[in-house]
Structure 1
């Protein structure tokens, strides 16, 4: 069956940047599955597959449609059990839920303080108005004001990564010697920042930086194929 992954892009359709789409893309590579990608801007998402979801990623596998990155990972695990496991059992699935909760409540908000204006600037013109209006309403301020003090927010973010740092300084991945979906969850957040914004915050020599670089090299350099924002 043909597999298609729908991903979020900006003006440059060769640069998918959504953290959730990267989780799904890495999960597909982890499983060793062949797939094609289709792209959409923010305002095009409601048109995908007849409006099946308000969010991406969306996976089409033959006649099956699955939305949400974690649901996609669970679907791949259940549908292709003979391929490398994303969770290595129910305990790994539950722990991945915890990692996702931590990432989305700790890392994502911090990265938004760095990158939200750069994300806007990289969007197609048709999406910029939607993005600015929706984000400024949610944030209660302008995008420019929201990122104005981002340099002062680097140290707090690096400190918040200490749980990850403590693990990957002792082992290659959260999954041990090889990655699991938990790795792709956090990788997706940092890849979002790498692709969407030229603002750099991971210091050289940090174990988190070394882990991120290992993740970029996974699956024949899948993550590294999209250059960092310049």
Structure 2
């Protein structure tokens, strides 16, 4: 029986965009596991599996429900130890925790500032109302004000992620010669931006851009099957 992955979508159910859900999509593909996706907009998350979760991604594997992308990755490695590892051992789990913490504090806020109004426009009307109220309360400003002037923030962003760019000049993946869950953590953030917004800050030919293209090509071009925003 295939694993079910509940994942966040906008008005187009074929365009999942959540960075956390993309981590799990890639992790399932990495493990070579059969899975089916269940598209869920923001305002329907409380209805999933009888209200068991307030967040996605959520997976159902038989009678087991697991929420949170990192917890799901750990579960997959523990439940399917005969499949390719996502972490490469306990040390990899700890290092991936650092990558997750760094990504959510360094990349995610900037992606939000680059694309928060674009994400709003990507959603169905009922979700737009929820998203605007929730994000403007959290950000303390209108979505349009947050996104305004994004071109002027690109250089600062590229400097902030310079350690990642330097690493990828020396090796093809964050995980080394092949990808690990740490790669999918960072990939999810840039895929979020790619799917939801036409604004793309990465320079063509940059080591990070080349890494992102390699990630898009993984697992039969799984990342490319969802088109970039026009």
Q: Distance in 1 between matches of 2:177 and 2:2?
A: 31
In structure 2, the partner of 1:109 is 109
TM-score by length of 2: 0.99
In structure 2, the partner of 1:22 is 22
Aligned residues: CA RMSD: 0.6
Matched, 1:225 2:206: no
Alpha-carbon offset, residue 161 of structure 1:
1.4
In structure 2, the partner of 1:54 is 54
Deviations 1:55-76 (A, max 9, x none): 1000000000000000000000
Alpha-carbon offset, residue 2 of structure 1:
2.8
Q: Distance in 2 between matches of 1:33 and 1:182?
A: 19
Matched, 1:185 2:191: no
Matched, 1:194 2:194: yes
Deviations 1:50-105 (A, max 9, x none): 11111100000000000000000000000000000000000001000000000000
- Alignment of structure 1 residues 141-220 onto 2, 5 Å: 141-220=141-220
In structure 2, the partner of 1:6 is 6
Indicate the SS of the match to 1:169. helix
Deviations 1:156-212 (A, max 9, x none): 111111111111111110111100000000000000000010111111111000000
Moved over 6 A (4+): none
Q: Distance in 2 between matches of 1:225 and 1:30?
A: 16
Q: Distance in 1 between matches of 2:141 and 2:167?
A: 37
In structure 2, the partner of 1:85 is 85
- Alignment of structure 1 residues 67-78 onto 2, 5 Å: 67-78=67-78
Q: Distance in 2 between matches of 1:122 and 1:144?
A: 14
In structure 1, the partner of 2:129 is 129
TM-score by length of 1: 0.99
Q: Distance in 2 between matches of 1:197 and 1:48?
A: 27
Q: Distance in 1 between matches of 2:60 and 2:26?
A: 16
Indicate the SS of the match to 2:32. coil
- Paired residues in the alignment total 230
Structure 2: tracts of 5 or more residues without a match? none
Q: Distance in 1 between matches of 2:55 and 2:10?
A: 15
Structure 1: tracts of 5 or more residues without a match? none
